[in-house]
Amino acid sequence: MANDPFGVALPDNLFIADTPALGQLIDAYEDTTKNVVAVVELFPEDAERAGPTAIFPGHLDGDLYEIGDIPSKGARGSTFDLKGAASGFTGVGRYIFLPGEVFAAIGEVERGLSPGAELDDVPVMQLLLARERLIGRRIVGDFLDVGLPVGYQEANERLGVTQQPRFAR
């Protein structure tokens, strides 16, 4: 890996897009040379389809999302607060990271964890943002959280898995 940027894809986040989500993030990295997180727009009706998430305050510049803050996520739906806005953006399961920067941030977060505590991506991204080394990229395409039953069902329906003879048992 050396010093080359690398992609991370969390398996419970699925995108249906003409240009793959990681491809869109690579374009954003090449434009900015920053670590990049995929962001999607959420609407009030998306609350049941979104796992534990928080709205990232910020603003769009084309498809680049200048993140103002990354709140910690809470229990399902507890931080999904649009504060009266029609929609908001949140980070979801695709990243481009620069090894030296992300591993330094991970090490810093790990040193602050109590024994046995789980390392979460949010504090790592908060550190990268504080260092002005993180940008969001709005993903052009559809996002499905297949870690939730409703997202898993929608993915199966949209991708026609249930209509494939080998899966239709």
Read off the pTM. 0.85
At 46-55, the pLDDT tens digits run 766 666 667 7
Buried b (16+ CB within 10 A) or exposed e, 6-21: ebeeeeebbbeeeeeb
Helical packing angle, 121-130 and 99-111, nearest 10°: 120
At 154-166, the pLDDT tens digits run 998 988 866 666 6
- Residue 155, Ramachandran bin (φ over 0: left; ψ between -120 and 50: alpha; else beta): alpha
At 82-131, the pLDDT tens digits run 777 788 888 999 999 999 999 999 999 999 999 999 998 899 999 999 99
**What domains appear along the chain, each with residue ranges and CATH number?**
6-98+133-167 (3.90.550.10)
Task: Give bridge partners of residue 61 from the DSSP assignment.
Answer: 64
Write the burial class of residue 156 (CB in 10 Å: 0-12 exposed, 13-18 middle, 19+ buried).
middle
